[in-house]
Amino acid sequence: MNNDSLTPPLLPPATLGMLGGGQLGRFFVAAAHEMGYRVWVLDPDPHSPAGRIADRHLCADYNDAAALAVIAEGCAAVTTEFENVPAATLDHLARFVPVRPSASAVGVCQNRILEKSFLAEHGLPHGEFAVIRNEMDLADVPDTLFPAILKVARFGYDGKGQSTVADRGEALAAFRQCSGEACVLEKRLTLDCEVSVVLARDQAGTVRAFPVAENRHRAGILDVSLVPARVAPALAEEAVALAGQIAEKLAYVGVMAVEFFVVDGRLRVNEMAPRPHNSGHYTLDACVASQYEQQVRALCGLPLESGAVHSAAAMVNVLGDLWFAHDTASAQEPDWGQLFAVPALKLHLYGKHQARRGRKMGHFTALAPLEDAEGALHAALSARTAIGIG
């Protein structure tokens, strides 16, 4: 089957396949269920948050031939919620069912070398970088690249697989820790702020973007997202336009996110995610349709909703550290009553089996009238302190 041919929309109660069973997959399952679809989830984790609420959880590896045969047979279309699904799996399934996004689009986003090369080839703004495959490559890097960040090309997330390096010597030491994995070395930029755009693109090329989110990270992990972002309207427009260009050049069908750095008032693309994004969680509570509903719509060939927001929103990630806030050795359930008591605050917990430091366990979103982003931020940060996020 040609994955790109325009097919009639898939309507409920069709069964949809989801590769990956984390929180993004769980929200997809919930959205699809509300719309009347069934969802089968493939994830090797028996406690997978999405698997727990799916119509069927195939608990197997992403390249398990028997599990893929079950999906090819039983699902009318397949998508993914994380970028590390092997491109070969997506390619294989595309022989039997529509797979959106395509293996080639996901392939670019799942490898920092391909991703940066894609940006460079298409003249899209990005930070200075070098590809490091061996120690010789490091010797050739210009001094101006330092201080820098060495990132493994594959399988990094939430700041994992990254080392901040002051100079060539430190870069060499860090590279030696990477067991020969190819890396990119990025100049460490001084950021005014970070923003992201989540959008949906359908088979006909229609793009619907959500408003730009302003993102604050702590220790490499998203901490707070604020919408609307407090940036100049022209910069926000440019971010949406750049994200749309990227989606078009990838012939992307589905929901994707583009993370940007703002440096000296100008945008630079940081990275792309071929899936819904943590910074788009706010769309669950502040938008006409969430990023997960848009993912269902794009996958099924339904008309996309607009990305309109009806409220200002500030989202706070709840990491597993909160379970250990009192320096206890064993995890203690936080007092969620404190958050449920705050008006216009929406708590979402992902049903993860075990709390671990640095693990995303849930998030909450504070809402305020659309013109009052500062009010939403204030409410979210007060709640953050009250619950004990340090």
Distances, alpha carbon 80 to alpha carbons 103, 257, 293, in Å? 10, 14, 14
The answer to whether 75 touches 16, Cβ cutoff 8 Å, is: yes
Of these partners, Mg ion, ligand ADP, none, which one is at the site of residue 81 (CB under 5 to 8 Å by kind)? none
Q: CB 317 → ligand ADP: shortest distance, Å?
A: 12
Q: CB 159 → ligand ADP: shortest distance, Å?
A: 5
Binding mask 232-271 for Mg ion (x = CB under 5 A): ---------------------------x------------
HSE-up (13 A, CA, CB side) for residue 259: 24
Size of the site for Mg ion (CB under 5 A): 1
Of these partners, ligand ADP, Mg ion, none, which one is at the site of residue 155 (CB under 5 to 8 Å by kind)? none
Strand partners, 184: 131, 151
Q: CB 158 → ligand ADP: shortest distance, Å?
A: 5
Using CB under 6 A as the criterion, which residues of the chain lie in contact with ligand ADP when the complex forms? 127, 149, 156-159, 186, 188-189, 191, 194, 217, 220, 259, 270-271
Closer Cβ to ligand ADP, 32 or 318, answer by number:
318
Q: CB 243 → Mg ion: shortest distance, Å?
A: 14
Of these partners, ligand ADP, Mg ion, none, which one is at the site of residue 285 (CB under 5 to 8 Å by kind)? none
The answer to whether 107 touches 115, Cβ cutoff 8 Å, is: no
Closer Cβ to ligand ADP, 255 or 368, answer by number:
255
CA-CA-CA-CA torsion sign (136, 139, 145, 151): positive
Q: Please return the burial class of 336, using the count of CB atoms within 10 Å of its CB with bins 0-12, 13-18 and 19+.
A: middle
Closer Cβ to Mg ion, 214 or 259, answer by number:
259
The answer to whether 238 touches 245, Cβ cutoff 8 Å, is: no
Of these partners, ligand ADP, Mg ion, none, which one is at the site of residue 111 (CB under 5 to 8 Å by kind)? none
> Token digits for 156?
């990094």
β-bridge pairing 38-42 and 56-58:
parallel
Measuring CA to CA, which residue among 219, 212, 191, 225 is closest to residue 377?
225
**How far is the C-alpha of 183 from the C-alpha of 177, rounded, in Å?**
11
Of these partners, ligand ADP, Mg ion, none, which one is at the site of residue 238 (CB under 5 to 8 Å by kind)? none
Closer Cβ to ligand ADP, 214 or 271, answer by number:
271
Q: CB 196 → ligand ADP: shortest distance, Å?
A: 9
Closer Cβ to ligand ADP, 80 or 270, answer by number:
270
Residue 101: asked if its preceding bond is cis (omega within 30°), the reply is yes
Closer Cβ to Mg ion, 57 or 268, answer by number:
268
Closer Cβ to ligand ADP, 57 or 281, answer by number:
281
Closer Cβ to Mg ion, 259 or 293, answer by number:
259
Residue 49 identity (one-letter amino acid)? P
Helices (H), the chain: 23-35, 49-53, 65-74, 87-94, 103-109, 112-121, 135-139, 168-176, 233-249, 283-286, 291-300, 337-340, 373-387
Of these partners, ligand ADP, Mg ion, none, which one is at the site of residue 217 (CB under 5 to 8 Å by kind)? ligand ADP
Q: CB 259 → Mg ion: shortest distance, Å?
A: 5
Q: By the criterion CB under 5 A, which residues form the site for Mg ion?
A: 259
